[in-house]
Amino acid sequence: MTLAAVGIVYGDIGTSPLYAMKEVFSPLHGVALNPANLLGVVSLIVWSLILVVSLKYVTLMLRADNHGEGGIMALLTLTLSTVGPLSRWHFPLLVIGMFGAALFFGDGIITPAISVLSAIEGLEVATPAFKPYVVPLTLALLTGLYMLQKQGTAGIGKWFGPIMVVWFTALAGMGIVNIIAAPEILAALNPLHAIRFLNENRWVAFVALGAIVLVVTGAEALYADMGHFGRKPVRMAWFFITFPALALNYLGQGGLLLHNPAAVSNPFYQQLGDWSIYPLIALSTVATIIASQATISGTYSMVKQAIALGFLPRMQIVHTSSKEIGQIYMPLVNWLQWGAVTLAVLFFGSSSNLAAAYGIAVTGTMIATTVLTFFVIRYGWKYNLALCIGATSFFIIIDIAFFAANALKILHGGWFPLLLGAVMFTVMMTWKNGRELVRANLEKHAIPLEDFLASLFTDPPIRVPGVAIFMRGPSDGVPHAMLHNLSHNKVLHERVVFLTVYQHDVPWVPFSERIQIHELGHNCYQVDMHYGFKNEPDIPKALELSKQYNLDFNMMETSFFIARQNVIATPGSGMALWREQLFAGMSRNARDAADYYRIPANRVIELGTQVEI
């Protein structure tokens, strides 16, 4: 599990040495390349890894799990459950969490672009003649990667861990070679050099923080991937493999620049001399593709969670592995992300230009995570208030310092993740608010089910053979599909089932708690199904569990009645008209409920109903 975690969890942060040191000493930041500044920068890098990744994420955040699941979506649901729906903090925390999640989607777009670009840019180090081919080669590799997604990664995924171990071994080896050549760089392990650098350079040092943050990109990803591997393997992979390799390599790059300042143009590819450039390009390209794959898979997982939690409309999900439940492919998400990544590569054109955009996405999500964590440890874990304020204040000062330094680059690329985040935030909040408006409209016109059945069976309609299953929401009354069926067909099946699906804000609901059945009389039943946001909704499979209640379903004799809601946007109360129209458009194009719940298409009867919001 630790080996697998190295391949999936640490691909993003593990490829940062390709571009981080180069960006810190970029002429744009104005940091003079001298021994004092070099020791200060390397010290800041090493201590950022220690404080932000080792202490905040690996030690603290991995404890803040939602039934074993991590990531900002899981943290948001955990936070909201600790403060409660009636708390005055509920809505502000929801907004903070959703914007952090939206920025995380932006991170998922920038990571493949900057990682693969930085790897291919090694060709420029070999010879400037390759410069015109960097962007086309990057786009070709990324397009091929997105085209392969529908095949799944089950076959090649087993090689990710060993390849990334080779990558980290190479990082450590190169670092050791350059440390031996310049052992004085080890003085950077003393944090006083970082403090002195910040104190003596003030504004220049503050600006440089915008590039230093690049060394901790991927920290959110390791937290999000905790659910795939568990807390212990993720921690072991960091402390025994990833962190030593990264620290050694950054120290080694610092040692190289002490003796060869000219290597600052691209210190990563000049660590071992000209002979190593092409082998390093090959290895780094494979490593960045693996990092990109982990990001793409993480985006699928996050979108799937957002759908289950009611923040995005249903989309097509293709399972690419019959053995691993997490192996999924989402065509719409895949090609939307590919389009955004392609635009990023074409527009920015280099890893240096993209670095300005990268920091905003990462640090914005980091701030949201820290804020949410305060409420978890205070109201969920019941820790002392002073301890909670002290711990989170320490981290949020670091997060805000990094974010503020990156905010200086908003006009130079930082606007890109903010724009992506704003679009995703608007879409998610519009879908959530729109669903609440639809629910309120249906509740307003709902007919209580028990009262309706009591009056219906005073003069019962003709009963016909078979089973009718009517889908109804948690707060619905009589399903519209049933009213339409009675109105037009004048009959009732001999067994009638009202089926309600509950999506819970926990990752998993066990099979023992999957289904509940309540008898309503006259051979009518209320069936409740329960799923977590990581469960795979499958109604026919769940109905098999009803045998323990002496209720059997033969799919060839069962009909599913589903009301398809046609949402009509109307001016007045509710959301702004453009948001209502956006919601109506998403609702019309959402994945069919029968398909999402894996109901056989030939057993479904859809009946339309109009809902005004």
pLDDT digits (tens, 9 = 90+) for 221-261: 888 877 777 788 889 999 999 999 999 999 999 999 999 99
Q: Closest Cα to residue 121, out of 349, 459, 447?
A: 349
Read off the pLDDT band of 298 (50, 70, 90). Answer: confident
| pLDDT of the residue at 322 | 56
| pLDDT of the residue at 51 | 94
Read off the pLDDT band of 11 (50, 70, 90). Answer: confident
Rounded CA-CA distance 85/286 in Å is 46
Determine the average pLDDT of the residues in 494-514: 88
DSSP string for residues in 406-432 = HHTTGGGTTHHHHHHHHHHHHHHHHHH
| pLDDT of the residue at 153 | 64
Backbone angles phi, psi at 311, to 5 degrees: -100, -10
Determine the average pLDDT of the residues in 263-267: 89
Q: Between the CA of residue 201 and those of 29, 36, 205, 264, 434, what are the distances in Å?
A: 12, 11, 5, 20, 50
| pLDDT of the residue at 96 | 93
Query: For residue 17, what are the contacts with CB-CB under 8 A and spacing of at least 6?
Result: 171, 246, 249, 250, 253, 268
| pLDDT of the residue at 370 | 93
Does the structure show a pLDDT above 70 at 325? no
Pairing of strands 604-612, 558-568: parallel
Does the structure show a pLDDT above 80 at 156? no
Determine the average pLDDT of the residues in 28-55: 92
Rounded CA-CA distance 353/121 in Å is 13
Does the structure show a pLDDT above 60 at 355? yes
Token pair recorded at residue 98? 């959703």
| pLDDT of the residue at 160 | 84
E strands in 241-399: 318-319, 328-329
Q: What is the pTM of this model?
A: 0.83
Determine the average pLDDT of the residues in 143-154: 82
Backbone angles phi, psi at 314, to 5 degrees: -60, 140
CA 568 to chain CA centroid, Å, is 31
Q: Which residues pair with 69 in a beta bridge?
A: 66
Rounded CA-CA distance 10/422 in Å is 27
Domains and CATH numbers, the chain: 2-413 (1.20.1740.10), 444-612 (no CATH)
48-62, 218-232, 506-520: least confidently modelled range: 218-232
Determine the average pLDDT of the residues in 43-57: 95
Query: For residue 327, what are the contacts with CB-CB under 8 A and spacing of at least 6?
Result: 152, 153, 154, 319, 320, 321
Read off the pLDDT band of 368 (50, 70, 90). Answer: very high
pLDDT digits (tens, 9 = 90+) for 516-557: 999 998 899 999 999 987 788 889 999 998 888 888 888 888
Higher pLDDT, 87 or 174: 174
Q: Between the CA of residue 580 and those of 104, 422, 553, 563, 575, what are the distances in Å?
A: 25, 17, 39, 20, 6
Rounded CA-CA distance 248/271 in Å is 12
Average pLDDT, rounded, for the chain: 88
Rounded CA-CA distance 583/431 in Å is 6
Rounded CA-CA distance 43/41 in Å is 5
Q: Closest Cα to residue 432, out of 67, 69, 68, 77?
A: 77
Does the structure show a pLDDT above 60 at 323? no
Rounded CA-CA distance 142/242 in Å is 25
Read off the pLDDT band of 380 (50, 70, 90). Answer: confident
Query: H/E element holding 561?
Result: strand 558-568
